[in-house]
Amino acid sequence: MYNSFMINQEVASIFTQMAELFEFLGDPNDKFKIRAYQNVAVTIESLPEPIDKLFSENRLLGIKGIGQGIAAKIEEYIDNGEIEEFEMLKRAVPKGIFDLFAVPSLGPKRVKQLNVELGVDSIASLKEAVDKGLVQNLAGFGEKSAKKILEGIELRLNVSERRPIGEVFLTVKMILSEMKKCKDLKDVVAAGSFRRAEESVGDVDILATGDITKTEKIMKIFCELPMVAHILGSGDTKSSIITKDGLQVDFRLVLPDQFGSALQYFTGSKQHNVELRTIAKNRGYKISEYGFFNGEKLIASKTEEECYNSLGMQYIPPELRSNTGEIEAAQKNALPKLIEVDDISGDLHTHSLWSDGNNTIEEMALAAQNLGYEYIALTDHSPSLRVANGLNHERLIKKKSEIDALNEKLKIKILFGTEVDILADGSVDYPDEILSKFDVVVASIHSRFNQDNTERLLKAMQNPYVHIIGHPSGRMIGRRKPYELDYEMVFKEAANTGTILEINGQHLRLDLQDFYIREAKRWNCMFSIDSDSHSIANLELMELGVRWARRGWCEKKDVVNTLDLKKLRQILKKSK
Partner DNA sequence: GCCGTTTTCGGCCCGACTGTTTTCAGTCG
Residue 213: CB minimum distance to DNA, A: 52
Stretch that binds DNA, among 30-38, 177-185, 302-310, 393-401 (CB under 7 A): 30-38
Residue 78: CB minimum distance to DNA, A: 15
* 117-146 positions binding DNA, by CB under 7 A: 139-146
DSSP code of residue 335? -
Q: How far is 127 from 120, CA to CA, in rounded Å?
A: 9
Stretch that binds DNA, among 105-113, 260-268, 272-280, 431-439 (CB under 7 A): 105-113
Residue 464: CB minimum distance to DNA, A: 26
Q: How far is 444 from 423, CA to CA, in rounded Å?
A: 9
* 397-426 positions binding DNA, by CB under 7 A: 424
Contact letters for DNA, residues 435-474 (x by CB under 7 A): -----------xxx-x------------------------
Q: Does 59 bind DNA (CB under 7 A)?
A: no
Residue 309: CB minimum distance to DNA, A: 46
Residue number with CB closer to DNA (66 or 197): 66
Closest CA to 316 of 302, 337, 342: 337
Residue number with CB closer to DNA (381 or 550): 381
Q: How far is 367 from 141, CA to CA, in rounded Å?
A: 48
Residue 29: CB minimum distance to DNA, A: 8
Of 76, 125, 127, 148, the one binding DNA (CB under 7 A) is 148
Of 48, 50, 96, 107, the one binding DNA (CB under 7 A) is 107
Q: Does 480 bind DNA (CB under 7 A)?
A: yes
Residue 18: CB minimum distance to DNA, A: 9
Q: Does 395 bind DNA (CB under 7 A)?
A: no
Whether a cis peptide bond, with omega within 30° of 0, leads into 512 is yes
Q: How far is 190 from 63, CA to CA, in rounded Å?
A: 36
Closest CA to 545 of 514, 506, 515: 506
Q: Does 295 bind DNA (CB under 7 A)?
A: no
Contact letters for DNA, residues 173-212 (x by CB under 7 A): ----------------------------------------
Whether a cis peptide bond, with omega within 30° of 0, leads into 269 is yes
DSSP code of residue 129? H
Q: Does 110 bind DNA (CB under 7 A)?
A: yes
The amino acid at 100: L
Q: Does 28 bind DNA (CB under 7 A)?
A: no
Backbone angles phi, psi at 442, to 5 degrees: -100, 125
Q: How far is 314 from 321, CA to CA, in rounded Å?
A: 12
**Contact predicate 98/20, CB 8 Å:** yes
Size of the site for DNA (CB under 7 A): 43
Cα torsion at 430, 433, 438, 439 (round to 10°)? Answer: 130
Of 21, 44, 54, 66, the one binding DNA (CB under 7 A) is 66
Cα 72-352-177 angle, rounded to 5 deg: 65
Q: Is the dihedral angle over the CA atoms 220, 225, 231, 233 positive or is it negative?
A: negative
Q: Does 156 bind DNA (CB under 7 A)?
A: no
- DSSP 3-state of 419: strand
> By CB neighbour count within 10 A (0-12 exposed, 13-18 middle, 19+ buried), where does 75 fall?
middle
Residue number with CB closer to DNA (239 or 538): 538
Residue number with CB closer to DNA (214 or 479): 479
Residue number with CB closer to DNA (67 or 325): 67
Backbone angles phi, psi at 496, to 5 degrees: -65, -45
Which residues sit at the interface with DNA, rule CB under 7 A? 31-33, 35-37, 40, 63-71, 104-111, 139-146, 148, 386-387, 424, 446-448, 450, 476, 479-480
